[in-house]
């Protein structure tokens, strides 16, 4: 099953670490955790806090210990295909979380959400579109969905942003199904 992930972090520096993670499964179920930092994580950027509105105090009082979150993620996400809108950043924070919990940093891998949208369109359109036109139809469909979406500022909270990526994927699925239905009728 596809899972759409998002992390919020202490900053965007090399020493940044994850402070919140959320995942939305393709069936719409979701989970979110504030992450109590590992002792060695000290980087903090007040400007980042002003964006995501998660304070260090919130992490200490409401956060789940980083190792508990890491183990839960490995237990519940292994075997699923994980996607994020910024896989290099989200992958960095996933790796930092896993390493701090003394888990293999490659236990979970993150792919680009654009791949999930393209895969969904391909799966739905391949039976009704000629192989010569398939990539053109997919590109057109993805562009159309992107143009139709009302792009707002990200919420900069992990669950809201993961839900937005899930909705974007659902929009592609719906648009592809409509194209496939029209093609089947012609």
Rounded (5°) CA angle 78-100-54: 90
Running DSSP on this structure, what letter comes out for residue 38? P
Tens of pLDDT, residue by residue over 40-73, are: 999 999 999 999 999 999 999 999 999 999 999 9
Query: What CATH architecture applies to the domain 2-112?
Result: 2-Layer Sandwich (3.30)
Q: Are 12 and 48 in contact (CB under 8 A)?
A: yes
Predicted confidence at residue 152, as pLDDT, reads: 66
d(CA 174, CA 117): 11
Percent of all residues in the chain with a pLDDT value above 90, rounded to a whole number:
91
C-alpha distances in Å from residue 153, one per residue of 9, 13, 94, 156, 160: 17, 21, 23, 8, 11
pLDDT band at 184 (very low <50, low <70, confident <90, very high): confident
Q: Specify the 3-state DSSP secondary structure of 87.
A: helix
pLDDT bin (cut points 50, 70, 90) of residue 113 is very high
Residue 7 has pLDDT above 80, yes or no: yes
Q: What is the mean pLDDT of residues 104-113?
A: 94
Q: What is the per-residue pLDDT across 129-155, written as a single tens digit (0 to 9) for each?
A: 999 999 999 999 999 999 988 766 677
Per-residue pLDDT, 61:
97
How do the domains of the chain map onto residue ranges? Answer: 2-112, 113-185
Percent of the chain residues topping a pLDDT of 70: 98
- Cα torsion angle, 83, 88, 93, 96, sign: positive
Band (172; pLDDT cuts 50, 70, 90): very high
Q: Using alpha carbons, select from 124, 134, 162, 142 the residue that is nearest to residue 29.
A: 162
pLDDT band (50, 70, 90) for residue 162:
very high
Q: Contacts by 51-57 with C-beta closer than 8 Å and gap 24+?
A: 51/156, 52/8, 52/19, 52/20, 52/156, 52/157, 53/156, 53/157, 54/8, 54/19, 54/20, 54/157
**Token digits for 104?**
């293999």
Pairing status of strand 64-65 against strand 30-36: parallel
Reported as half-sphere exposure (CB side, CA atoms, 13 A), residue 128 has a value of: 17
């Amino acid at each position: 099953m596809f899972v759409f992930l998002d992390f919020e972090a202490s900053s965007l520096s090399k020493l940044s670490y994850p402070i919140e993670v959320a995942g939305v499964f393709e069936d719409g179920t979701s989970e979110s955790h504030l992450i109590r930092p590992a002792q060695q994580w000290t980087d903090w950027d007040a400007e980042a806090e002003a964006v995501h509105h998660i304070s260090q105090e919130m992490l200490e009082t409401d956060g789940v210990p980083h190792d508990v979150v890491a183990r839960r993620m490995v237990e519940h996400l292994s075997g699923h295909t994980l996607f994020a809108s910024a896989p290099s950043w989200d992958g960095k924070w996933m790796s930092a979380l896993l390493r701090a919990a003394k888990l293999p940093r490659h236990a979970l891998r993150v792919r680009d959400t654009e791949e999930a949208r393209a895969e969904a369109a391909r799966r739905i359109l391949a039976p009704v579109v000629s192989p010569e036109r398939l990539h053109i139809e997919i590109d057109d469909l993805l562009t159309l969905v992107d143009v139709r979406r009302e792009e707002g500022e990200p919420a900069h909270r992990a669950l809201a942003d993961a839900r937005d990526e899930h909705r974007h994927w659902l929009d592609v699925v719906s648009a592809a199904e409509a194209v496939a239905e029209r093609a089947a009728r012609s």
